[in-house]
Structures are given as structure tokens and as C-alpha cells.
Amino acid sequence: MKWTIAIVPALLLILVGVAMAETVYLKGGGSLEGRVLDLSEKTLTMTIEGVEGSKVEVPLSRVSDYSLFELKRARLSGDSAADHEKLGDWANERNLLAFAMDEYALAVKISGEAVTAELQKKLDDASSRCGADKLSRAQKLVSAGELVEARSYLRDILKNNPRCPSASTAREQVKVLSGRIDKERRMARERVRAEAAAESFEDGLKSVRKQIDEGDRLRQVGLFRSGSLGKAEDAFLAAIAVYEQARAVTVRAGKMPAARGREKDLLELSSAIETRLLTVYVDVGHNFIVKGNLIKANHYMGLALAIDPNDPKALALRSSIAAATANDRWGRPGR
């Protein structure tokens, strides 16, 4: 959970303007945690978290474009259409298409009736490029058999780029993929029911342990893909489904006659599952905060706090959500 702890303060800085620790991701891997003191054209100056009196300069050429965008976005002064357009240009030049589109859209909204034809064209072009890029990614995922992730990209086109040329193709492919996914899920449920009916108590415990391992693997996939919110979300939700299935199998095993005298084993497994569920509920809730969907984020924070009402990470994120909903621009559900 190290990355979650580091990113939350950066999110608070964006939402409520509190200068706290930030995470700066570097090209090629690695990151620095601390507080950014200055951001110039060529370098950034920052402290290092946990090192008293530290002060380092990092060339911007070593910083990932994603981190630079977040830093620049957090430091915009006021709601200036020109500033958002300029940041959109910066993101567009670096092929951060979704970010560029968001900045242009915000600049258009702020401009109102005074919006220029040039700015509107920038928004339309960014939306078209973004939609085409997502469609290409979706098609590659379909070829790789990753249907749920592919459908996520296609739905994102329909939600955020509905007027782009790729939207009609995306709409047709969503229907096809939904049919295939539903069929696979029905078959999977049938296999689960058949396995559950045949398993003995020991088989049930082995199944739970395997499901816990699979959930752990999926959660790590989500953490590894934290730079892609859609992929991280799919992995976290898949982990939740596996952990919840493990919990259901544990409950069934506990009702078997062979469970007598094995209460300690069942309690250990149940505790392990609940701990993991709490952690991944916080993971996916944080992911929804970064995407701007505070309604879903709040839902998962509620599930986490139902397991442990005093969990500090869940409490901190719920506090962030409460602060964010006071601001209309950040309070609306987003991607």
C-alpha cells in the first residue's frame, strides 16, 4: 500500500490545496516522495520524505510526463481558460491525449460564449485522437482475449468521446463483447457450482487458499497498472470478486460436519480474507477518487470501514471525498 499512502496527499493537494507530501514518478521506473518546493522550466526542487533537511533538484527530463502533468495541474492559479488551454497543449504534445482533452474541455467551459474556433478545434481533434487510440487498444486486447478490459476502453469512448469517428464502431463492438462476456461468466458460474457441490471440507480449504493467492495476484496487477486507471480498476474488481468467492466457500466449509475441531483454521482463513478485502476496497476506492467518481469511491470506503471502522487509510480517503464533494467541479462523477 506504499503507493496509496504517497498518492493520497497529492490528491489532497489538488482537491483542497493543502501542501503535503507528493510522489514524483521517474522515467524508467522508481519514484521520489516528498514535497515539491519549486517547479521551473528545466528542474524541480523537492524535499525527500523522512529525510530531515533534505533538498534535491531533479531534471525534468528524468520525470515521467504523467507526474509532470499532475504537478503542473495542481499548481494552476485560478480558473483561467488560457492556463488550461496551455496545459492542454503541453499534454497534447506529449501524447497524453485524455489529459489534453480534459484541459481543452475545461477551457471551453470556462470561456463560455467567448470560446474561440481554434480552442474548439483543439478539443475536437484531441477527442478524435483519444477515441481512435482507445479503439486501437481495445482491438489489441480483444485479440489477446482480455474481453473485459477491451469493453472498458470501448465504453470509455462512448462516455467521453461520443462524437468522435470511433464511437459508432465502439458501440457495435460493446454489444458483441457483452454477449461473449456474459456467456463466459455463465459457464464460469456453472463450473463454480459444480466444484462447490463436489468438494470436501479439505478441498474447500485448499480452494480458499488458492483463491486468496489468485486475489493477491490480481491486486498486484492492479498496483502494477496504477498508471492506467481502467486497467487498475478491472484488476482490483477482479480481486474483490475472487476474495468474496473465497469468503463464501469458507462459510460453506464451516457448516460441514468435518469443520468441528477445525475452527482455528477457518478463523485464520476468514481473518486473512477480511484483511485483504479491506485493503483492496481501499485500493479500488482510491482508484475511483483519482478518476473523479466520488460516488463509487465512497461506496468502497463504506465497505472497508464496515470491516474496520478505525482503518486510518479508509478514514483519510473518506475525509478527502467529503472535502471534494464540496466543490462542484470535482464532485461530479468522472472516468
| Average confidence (pLDDT) per 10 residues, the chain, 335 residues | 39 42 84 87 86 84 88 82 89 85 88 89 87 89 90 89 86 92 88 62 83 89 80 89 89 80 87 92 89 88 92 88 64 42
Reading the block at residue 237, the C-alpha cell is: 474488481
Please report the pLDDT score of residue 77 as a whole number: 73
Supply the pLDDT for residue 294: 87
Residue 136 and residue 150: Cα distance in Å, rounded? Answer: 10
CA 165, 167, 172, 173 dihedral sign is: positive
User: E-strand spans in the chain?
Assistant: 22-25, 31-34, 36-39, 43-46, 56-59
DSSP code of residue 325: T
Look-up of cell digits 485483504: 276
- State the CB neighbour count (10 A cutoff) for residue 298: 18
**Neighbouring residues of 179: CB distance < 8 A, sequence distance ≥ 6:** none
For the chain, which residues make up each domain, given as ranges?
1-74, 76-194, 199-335
* Intrachain domains 76-194 and 199-335 with the same fold: yes
- The pLDDT of residue 281 is 93
Look up the CATH superfamily of 76-194.
Tetratricopeptide repeat domain (1.25.40.10)
Unique residue bearing C-alpha cell 525527500: 48
User: Quick one: pLDDT at residue 17?
Assistant: 38
Question: Over the Cα atoms of the chain, what is R_g?
Answer: 23
CB of 99 within 8 A of CB of 91? yes
Question: Could you confirm whether domain 199-335 is CATH 1.25.40?
Answer: yes
Whole-number pLDDT of residue 15 = 40
Is residue 173 a contact partner of residue 156, using CB atoms and an 8 Å limit? no
Instruction: Tell me the residue type at 92.
Output: N
CATH topology of domain 1-74: SH3 type barrels. (2.30.30)
Identify the pLDDT of residue 309: 92
Identify any residues that bridge with 39 across adjacent strands, giving them in sequence order. 44
Rounded to two decimals, the pTM is 0.45
